[in-house]
Amino acid sequence: MQRWKRWLLIALAAVVVLGGAYIIFKSDERVDVVLDPGHGDHDAGAANGDRLEKDDNLALALATADLLKQQGVNVRLTRDDDRFVSLKKRCSLANRRHATLFVSLHRNSAEGAKGVEIWIGSENDPASRALAQAILDGLDAAGISKNRGVKTGYAQGVGDYYVNKHTRMPSCLVELGFITSDEDNALYDAHLADYAAAIAQAIHAQLPEKETTAQAGETTSAAE
């Protein structure tokens, strides 16, 4: 083999190996928070006429993620467009990335009901409770029809609440008003930016100080 060809092959091999290592390293990069807009694609979630829960969840998640990024928080979304992602994949993303916090965004559904409630998995989970309470306090201040409190357990079944059970970090699931309530929908549309700001602020406040200051500069440092 000609000398230059050998060098070319070595150079190409180096590119492949280093590129692969970079991709693997990046995929394990630690994140501060995983934001999880519920549902997507054929899984529309709850509905009220043409209004679909999956779209409301995504709009709020994108707005919240923008604010968190501006604050130097390393945030990942389980989806950033209208696609289907299994509950298992949502959890494994957060677990693989060693997310410090996990926040799932949903809207509720029940005839005649209104207001905001936030679910955590277990009674004995002070970090999840603190996260949920901080978000609920912020949303309450931004303007909601009714504060239904922080609730524990998995409601009627696995469903949306799967994510609280299968993520290995403090997590909560926000049921941001009832999509079946015109009053809640009007509030949602009027206060979307305020809700995003409240959630972003609460998440930021629940992150350990060192993480966000470190992340604001270099994102690929010595995170385990």
* Footprint of Zn ion (CB under 5 A): 38, 45, 106, 160
Q: To the nearest whole angstrom, how small is the minimum distance from the Cβ of residue 197 to Zn ion?
A: 22
Q: To the nearest whole angstrom, how small is the minimum distance from the Cβ of residue 107 to Zn ion?
A: 6
Q: To the nearest whole angstrom, how small is the minimum distance from the Cβ of residue 120 to Zn ion?
A: 16
Q: To the nearest whole angstrom, how small is the minimum distance from the Cβ of residue 9 to Zn ion?
A: 52
Q: Which residue is nearest to Zn ion (CB)?
A: 106
Judged by beta carbon, residue 163 or residue 200, the one nearer Zn ion is 163
Q: To the nearest whole angstrom, how small is the minimum distance from the Cβ of residue 108 to Zn ion?
A: 8
Judged by beta carbon, residue 160 or residue 211, the one nearer Zn ion is 160
Judged by beta carbon, residue 19 or residue 159, the one nearer Zn ion is 159
Judged by beta carbon, residue 30 or residue 54, the one nearer Zn ion is 54
Please give the backbone phi and psi of residue 29, each rounded to the nearest 5 degrees, phi first: -60, 135
Judged by beta carbon, residue 36 or residue 160, the one nearer Zn ion is 160
Judged by beta carbon, residue 108 or residue 212, the one nearer Zn ion is 108
* Beta-strand pair 51-52/47-48: antiparallel
Q: To the nearest whole angstrom, how small is the minimum distance from the Cβ of residue 202 to Zn ion?
A: 20
